[in-house]
Amino acid sequence: MDSPTTETTPHPPTLCGPFVGAIDEGTTSARFIIFRAGTDEIVCFHQIEVESIFQKEGWCEQDPMAIVNTVNECIAGACKKLIAVGGKVEEIITIGITNQRESTVVWDRNSGQPLVNAIIWLDNRTTSTVEELLETIPNNARNINYLRPLCGLPLSPYFSGVKLRWLRDNVPVVSQAMEKGTAMFGTIDTWLMYNLTGGKDCGVHKTDVTNASRTMLMNIETLQWDANLLKFFGLPKTILPEICSSSEFYGKIAQGVLQGIGITSVLGDQQAALVGQQCLAKGQAKATYGTGCFLLYNTGPSIVHSTHGLLTTVGYQLGRKAVPFYALEGSVSIAGAAFNWLRDNMNLIQNSGQIESMASTVDNSLDVYFVPAFNGLYAPYWNQDARGVICGLSEETTSEHIVRATLEAVCFQVRDILDSMHKDCKIPLAKLMVDGGMTVNNLFLQLQSDLVGIQVLRAKIAETTALGAAMAAYKAVESRYQMEAPLSKTGPRDAIKPSISATDRNLRYQKWKMAIDRSLNWETSTLPQGEREAFDGA
């Protein structure tokens, strides 16, 4: 007979804090990640997908309340896991917020309820608004770069100011609330902050410099809302949040498991990844591959105005009195999103786990080029009338070639951006730090290194975006914290080197450029006169 054992309630081992939490509200999913303070060690996290609503062609919305509820569920889920591994929620000393940028929410000051769904950054409904705004530019110039000296950005459906103007012009409940002074505007950080700190009762109405720098309403030099920009867009200042630095006390969480804990950082997700990758010195750059792909190059305290289609944006300002650091950004709207399309619209893949195995069964894309310009092309083209094309199809083309061409499309778009950065900054990048959902794919990173001809360094942890928010939050509460100190002794997870010749790389890039030419201006292209007449007469 077995000897009797004493029944005891199992206790998890004790896990000592302090901890720092980070809310990462991305386009595809939200997550709450708990780090050991001052390190890149993830203690636990909880992640939930967020649904996008596609009401009409080119539109992309999300339910603002669903975003808040999902974030609250992520917080509750991660805290439960923290307790399960022996940690104490009371040892979370502060939290930070990082978020999909440009996405626009308008809500009612009295009820705290959204007036419309959030217009997501990818949404293209404002193409006609851009056209109308171009018409108002003096001397009939129709110059998309007219506002660049003030805000660093070209006129594009991408940015929040254009989305807000569309709401003013097309949604009476919003224009009336703007007139009455009861409308409040925020990007996702602001909307979350407002709700987490008490909503209509005592919610704070604030944003940070990085998110504000994506609205087209903030002056890139003064870091304040700009009267001329507000006048250009015809928007009232009363709807706007207060602009703060990326690392300071914003407010306290009003209820739930984290009640009473302070929120001490806010950063747009791409800027947070710049911090999380420790690209904290001039000349350092990172690329994050999620729904879209965003390459940011730290230009230090200097504002560099691009003449090659890049954006000038605020990188971070780590404290009220800290010097702001700027970045040049190359934005690609469709990166991982192209695989969601292959899955949901084309039924070519069932899940993202298949992408690498399918693409690896063929040696190359068999000269297939896919430009996924579903909502126009962002950097460096800024062509809102571009549309997607797949070129070079033959009888031999299979799904595997198309999947591989989709991976290559992201790589070529990054080459477009790196070429522009080289022209703007003169110094070619020797290596590129990478992170984000797509970087789990080894073949993709090899293709990226091959097609741009530089070394690619994969981050040790995939969650660099959340890490950046956690670092900025911790800095606000621990003055001795040195952000530049190495986070871990192991450096990047791995380094991938180019394996093809420069001749091969350049030939393939030339073909990519031919595919780009076919996609540009597709929406507004008309048949040549002779062919149109023949068609009309048929």
Ligand X SMILES: O=P(O)(O)OC[C@H](O)CO
Residue in 157, 161, 276, 292 binding ligand X, rule: CB under 6 A: 292
Shortest distance (Å) from residue 122 CB to ligand X = 8
Sheet holding 293-300, edge to edge: 311-316, 325-332, 293-300, 285-289, 431-435, 455-458, 494-496
Burial class (CB in 10 A: 0-12, 13-18, 19+), 14: exposed
Q: Which stretch binds ligand ADP (CB under 6 A): 156-164, 337-345, 367-375, 491-499?
A: 337-345
Is residue 39 a contact residue for ligand ADP (CB under 6 A)?
no
Is residue 339 a contact residue for ligand ADP (CB under 6 A)?
yes
Distance CA(222)–CA(487), nearest Å, equals 33
Is residue 29 a contact residue for ligand ADP (CB under 6 A)?
yes
Percent of residues in the chain assigned helix, strand, coil, to nearest 5: 35, 20, 40
Closer of 270 and 278 to ligand X (Cβ):
270
Residue 523 DSSP class:
G
3-state SS class at 222: coil
Distance CA(502)–CA(484), nearest Å, equals 35
Q: Which of ligand ADP, ligand X, none does residue 440 bind to, with CB < 5 to 8 Å depending on kind?
A: ligand ADP
Closer of 63 and 356 to ligand ADP (Cβ):
356
Shortest distance (Å) from residue 89 CB to ligand X = 27
Residue in 19, 21, 26, 373 binding ligand X, rule: CB under 6 A: 26
Q: Which stretch binds ligand X (CB under 6 A): 8-16, 147-155, 263-271, 399-407?
A: 263-271
- What value does the CA radius of gyration of the chain take, rounded to a whole number of Å? 24
Burial class (CB in 10 A: 0-12, 13-18, 19+), 482: exposed
Q: Which of ligand X, ligand ADP, none does residue 102 bind to, with CB < 5 to 8 Å depending on kind?
A: ligand X
User: 94-113: which residues touch ligand X (CB under 6 A)?
Assistant: 100-102
Q: Which of 151, 424, 142 is nearest to 309 (CA)?
A: 424
Q: Which of 246, 271, 269 is nearest to 322 (CA)?
A: 246
Identify each DSSP E strand in 104-246 by its residue range: 104-108, 118-119, 183-187, 206-208, 242-244
Burial class (CB in 10 A: 0-12, 13-18, 19+), 199: middle
Residue 39 DSSP class:
S
Closer of 40 and 102 to ligand X (Cβ):
102
Q: Which stretch binds ligand X (CB under 6 A): 215-223, 266-274, 387-395, 422-430?
A: 266-274
User: 350-369: which residues touch ligand ADP (CB under 6 A)?
Assistant: 352, 355-356
Shortest distance (Å) from residue 190 CB to ligand ADP = 19
User: 110-129: which residues touch ligand X (CB under 6 A)?
Assistant: 121
Is residue 336 a contact residue for ligand ADP (CB under 6 A)?
yes
Closer of 28 and 39 to ligand X (Cβ):
28
Query: 225 forms bridges with which residues in the sheet?
Result: 218
Residue in 327, 437, 451, 512 binding ligand ADP, rule: CB under 6 A: 437
Query: 432 forms bridges with which residues in the sheet?
Result: 456
Binding site for ligand ADP (CB under 6 A): 26-29, 290-291, 336-337, 339-340, 352, 355-356, 436-438, 440-441, 444
Question: In the complex, which residues of this chain contact ligand X (CB under 6 A)?
Answer: 26-27, 100-102, 121, 268-270, 290-292
